[in-house]
Amino acid sequence: MSKQHTPQLAGLVLIAFFAIFPFVYSANDYPYIMHLLITGFFYAILASSWSMLAGYAGQFSFGHMGFTGIGAYTTALFIHYIYISPEATNLCTEYAIGDQFLIFVNPIGITSSTLTQDCLRQALEIWDGSVQVTAMPVWLGIALGTIMGGIFGLLIGLLVLPLRAAYLALFTLGFSEILRATISAELAITRGQAGIELPHLFENGLTLFGRTFDKTDKLPPYFVMFFLLLTCLGILAWLSKSKFGLFVRALREDQDAAAALGVNTTRYKVLVFVITSMMAAAAGAMMAHYIGIITPNNLMILQMSLVVAMAVIGGVENFVAAAIGAIIIEFTLELLRNSFEVGPFVVDMTIWRLVIFGILLMVTLRFSRNGIISPMIDYFFRGHVAKETVAKRATGTSP
Amino acid sequence: MTNLVVKDLNKRFGGLHVLKGVSFEVDGPELIGLIGPNGAGKTTLTNILDGAIKPNSGTVYLNGHRTDQLQPYEVARAGLGRTFQVTRSFRRMTVLENMFVPALALDRGHNRAEINQKALEVLEFLTIDHLRNEYAQALSGGQQKLLELGRLLMLDPEIVILDEPFAGVHPRLMEVIYRYIERVNGAGKAIILISHQMDSIFTLCRRLLVLNYGDLIADGVPDDVKRDPAVIEAYLGAEEGEPDAGQEGRVQP
């Protein structure tokens, strides 16, 4: 096996480790560690897709968390407001489809006196258990959230076409904040800061290989998120090896030169927004169903900064490095929470851990601009290049 | 047969009238020098031909197809390729990856092995094949110019515009660029060569276009252009239009 295959082998070992871990780990903090890993996978999807957008294509967007919000709120609103009923409520907006009715529940906001008084609940009270309504499937909500992320990615991609560098960053930051503010303001529909509750990924439990999991078990969402991460990484790997990867990197380096060489820069700039936005939206929708509630705070700029920092520390020009960086940092930030005493002083690590994180980010940017993990991968892939160049020059006709 | 028809091009930037009704034609594998003092409008003309900027009026037809309103990538696919005055290699991509970009953008049905083979042949011709796996940013300025020329060979356009290919290049690499021009022109491609290196222009080109503050003041064979009083006054400046050999062929501003 050559040195160049080491990263692939390490990748397979990592995948095997994460696939086996839930079955061999049995300490008391099992649910907590599993939760950390699920969250780590979520951030790994965001960091790796942002790495494709910013590191490969050079589109420094700060709207990535906005797309997770679009995915999460699309599935939340879809499942919260749309039902199928065999009977007409005669209270809600409803459409007959065959012998069923598609019910649109009216938005009533978060006033305590009206919280349980939407049109469907009133109808259910009237029916007194004689009619069973069906909620929309979670997976359809997640799929819709992913598609909606892609549609918004297309719109933002088209809008930012003439923008570069700081202007692009500020535009996307503005988009994300407008989205957050709109969701906060539209109390009647989104319930504002109170958030919308969502059913769990497996609301009715799951039976697999003779073992039954209830809706709060960590194992099913762990593998769902892990599978989504692997799918996203697989797509990113395929894209990076294809002409798409080559063109978006050319776009990053010099958009005008790429266009002069026949690259349709508009198409690839928009495409990279669509693809990475869909990944963020899928992760956001999945995470919202795992947590069980979505609030506008999930879209805060602090969250976006965390994703950026994870990608930068891992290595923004390598999506695998960004994903690994995200998982490591998610764990490190959590494990650093334990406060300790030094003599009479109590070091409150809930605060100081963020200082350590900030220092790590600054040191990385100053001394290793392509992160900590990415140079290690580069060492195996490109460590031989300098020697080869010298050897070819010695044997060739080059000046 | 390559045919470029530029008709009555006008371009204004605010109060500046940068191109004033420029018209000319390129027929077949001509090797044309485009000269003029700084600010003459050479780069603006190139940018319009390339589709990077749109003219205020006038038309450009390439092989019978109007191209002045097309996007740069469409112009490149239609058969016009260019280099830039300041070299614009994809610095954090390897030399080979740089070569792959135009070949894959054209999508002419070649597989990667064929493209790789052609890229290596071109790099060998340009004497930088030993650098194939290095990032372009590791190359010297002259080598980056060669890489930019190599990318054009991968694009394989009908008309090539070379913007200052000799600027800041070592004499040994200039020989390579000379061979490159002979190869491209010999393959039936037209070349428009923009340069302040008068020795090279007069050695290589069989026709000269002279721009002066947006006006095309001369279009003819080098010997005639050298004697053109308007050109002497506006640009060449030397007695009887002879280039100043004592200054290594560089035109004095």
Write a three-state SS string for chain B.
CCEEEEEEEEEEECCEEEEEEEEEEEECCCEEEEECCCCCCHHHHHHHHHCCCCCCEEEEEECCEECCCCCHHHHHHHCEEECCCCCCCCCCCEHHHHHHHHHHHHCCCCCHHHHHHHHHHHHHHCCCHHHCCCEHHHCCHHHHHHHHHHHHHHHCCCEEEEECCCCCCCHHHHHHHHHHHHHHHHCCCEEEEECCEHHHHHHHCCEEEEEECCEEEEEECHHHHHHCHHHHHHHHCCHHHCCCHHHCCECCC
Q: Which domain, by its residues, includes A109?
A: 87-132
Q: Are residues A115 and A222 in the same domain?
A: no
Is B131 in Cβ contact with A261 (below 8 Å)?
A: no
Mutate to test the interface with B, among A4, A241, A255, A261 (most CBs of B within 10 A): A261
Inspect the interface and report whether the beta carbons of A397 and B127 lie closer than 8 Å.
yes
Domain count along chain A: 2
Domain identity same for A329 and A226:
yes
Cα B248 off chain centre by? 21
Predicted confidence at residue A283, as pLDDT, reads 97
Stretch A355-373: mean pLDDT: 89
A84, containing H or E segment:
strand A82-85
Residue of B nearest to A246 (CA): B101
Q: Look at residue A357 and tell me if it is in a domain.
A: no
Span A49-61, mean pLDDT? 94
Using a CB-CB cut-off of 8 Å, the residues of chain A touching B90 are 249-250, 253-254, 257-258
Q: What is the mean pLDDT of residues A273-299?
A: 93
Mean pLDDT of B134-161: 93
Which residues in chain B have Cβ-Cβ distances shorter than 8 Å to A249? 90, 92-93, 97
Q: Name the pLDDT band for A300 (thresholds 50, 70, 90).
A: confident
Distance from CA of B212 to the nearest CA of A (A): 26
Q: How far is B76 from chain A (nearest CA, A)?
A: 5
Cβ contacts (< 8 Å) between A382 and chain B: which residues? 133
A331-335, A384-388, B66-70: least confidently modelled range: A384-388
Question: Within 10 Å of residue A28's Cβ, how many Cβ atoms?
Answer: 7
Find, among B5, B8, B11, B57, the residue nearest to B213 by Cα. Answer: B11
Helix, strand, or coil here: A212?
strand
- Whether residues A128 and A237 fall in one domain: no
In a domain, A360, yes or no: no
Residues 119-178 of B with CB under 8 A from A: 124, 127-134, 151, 155, 172-173
Assess A256–B contact: CB distance below 8 Å, yes or no.
yes
Residue A179 CB contacts under 8 Å (≥ 6 apart), including other chains: A66, A69, A70, A299
B167 versus B240: which is more confidently predicted?
Answer: B167
Interface probe, candidates B130, B158, B162, B174, chain A, greatest A C-beta count within 10 A:
B130
- Please say if the pLDDT value at position A297 is more than 90: no
Whether the CB of A266 is below 8 Å from some CB of chain B: the reply is yes
Give the Cα separation of A319 and A331 in Å (integer). 19
**Using CB atoms, which residue from A246, A252, A389 is nearest to B134?**
A389
Q: Tell me what pLDDT residue B101 has.
A: 96
In this predicted model, which residue has the larger pLDDT, A113 or B158? Answer: B158
Residue A261 lies in a domain: yes
Paired tokens of B226: 């050298």
Looking at CA atoms only, how far is residue B122 from chain A in angstroms?
Answer: 13
Under 8 Å between Cβ of A103 and A87: no
Give the least confident one: A97-106, A383-392, B212-221, B230-239.
B230-239
Looking at the structure, do residues A241 and A125 belong to the same domain, yes or no? no
pLDDT for A111 equals 66
Same domain? A65 vs A191: yes
Residue with tokens 């690839």: A268
Q: Give CA–CA dist A38/A224, Å, rounded.
A: 9
Q: Count the Cβ atoms, other than its own, within 10 Å of residue B1.
A: 9
Q: From the list B73, B89, B97, which residue is nearest A259 (CB)?
A: B73
pLDDT averaged over chain A? 90
Q: Flag if A247 and B105 touch (Cβ within 8 Å).
A: yes
Distance (Å, whole) CA A116 – CA B10: 70
By C-alpha distance, which of A57, A379, A373, A3 is closest to A240?
Answer: A57
What pLDDT does residue A73 have?
A: 96
Cα torsion angle, A26, A32, A35, A36, sign? negative
Point out the residue among A262, A385, A399 whose CB comes nearest to the CB of B105.
A262
Predicted pLDDT at B190 = 94
CATH number of A192's domain? 1.10.3470
Per-residue pLDDT tens digits for A88-147? 999 999 999 999 999 999 887 776 555 567 889 889 989 998 999 999 999 999 999 999
pLDDT at position A396, please? 58
Question: What is the CATH topology of the domain spanning B3-88+159-247?
Answer: Rossmann fold (3.40.50)
Find chain B residues with C-beta within 8 A of A393's C-beta: 130
- Choose the closest CB to B88 out of A257, A393, A397: A257
Q: Which member of A246, A254, A396 has the closest CB to residue B104?
A: A246
Same domain, A196 and A312: yes
Q: Please give the average per-residue pLDDT across B150-179, as a whole number.
A: 91
**A149 & A217 share domain:** yes
d(C-alpha A261, C-alpha B107), whole Å:
12
Chain B CB contacts of A265 below 8 Å: 73
Q: Does A258 touch chain B (CB under 8 A)?
A: yes
Considering only CB atoms, which chain B residues are within 8 Å of A250? 90, 93, 101
* pLDDT score of B188 more than 80: yes
Who has greater pLDDT, B59 or A375? B59
B116 touches chain A (CB under 8 A): no
CB spacing of B52 vs A266 below 8 angstroms: no
Looking at the predicted structure, is the pLDDT value of residue B109 above 80?
no
- What residue of A is the nearest CA neighbor of B88? A257
Task: Provide mean pLDDT across the span B244-252.
Answer: 39
Q: What is the pLDDT of residue B242?
A: 46
Could you tell me the residue ranges of all domains in chain B?
3-88+159-247
What is the pLDDT, as a whole number, of residue B243? 44
Please check whether residue A322 is in contact with residue A51, taking contact to mean a CB–CB distance below 8 angstroms.
yes
Minimum CA–CA partner of B98 in chain A: A250
Token digits of residue A225: 């998120």
pLDDT at A188: 86
A387 touching B (Cβ < 8 Å):
no
Domain assignment of residue A363, yes or no = no
Across chain B, mean pLDDT equals 89
CB pairs under 8 A between A and B: 99
Shared-domain flag, residues A220 and A117: no
Judging by DSSP bridges, how do beta strands A100-104 and A82-85 pair with one another? antiparallel
Least confident of B17-21, B66-70, B198-202, B229-233: B229-233
Together in a domain, A97 and A198: no
Q: What is the value of pTM for the model shown?
A: 0.89
State percent of chain B over pLDDT 70: 92
CA distance A32 to chain B (A): 41
Residue A23 clears pLDDT 70, i.e. is over it? yes
What average pLDDT score do residues B85-92 get? Answer: 93
Answer for the pair A261, B105: CB distance below 8 angstroms, yes or no. Answer: yes
Domain boundary, last residue among A68, A98, A132: A132
Could B76 and A266 be called an inter-chain contact, meaning their C-beta atoms sit closer than 8 Å?
no
Instruction: Give A106: exposed, middle or buried? Use CB within 10 Å, 0-12, 13-18, 19+.
Output: middle
Nearest CA to CA, how far is A56 from chain B (Å)? 10
With CB atoms and an 8 Å threshold, state whether B90 touches A262.
Answer: no
A151-184 per-position pLDDT tens digit? 999 999 999 888 877 888 899 999 999 999 999 9
Identify from B101, B111, B124, B146 which residue to disrupt to test chain A contact, counting A C-beta atoms within 10 A and taking the largest count.
Answer: B101
| Cross-chain Cβ contact A262/B106 below 8 Å | yes
Contact A145, A71 (CB under 8 A): yes
Radius of gyration of chain B (CA): 18
In this model, does residue B192 exceed pLDDT 60? yes
A126 and A241: one domain? no
pLDDT band, very low/low/confident/very high, at A379 (cuts 50, 70, 90)? confident
Q: Does A328 touch chain B (CB under 8 A)?
A: no
Name every chain A residue with its beta carbon within 8 A of the beta carbon of B128: 398
pLDDT of the residue at B244: 41
- CA separation, residue A53 to residues A245, A305, B106 (Å): 11, 15, 24
pLDDT tens column, A207-252: 888 888 888 899 999 999 999 999 999 999 999 999 999 999 999 9
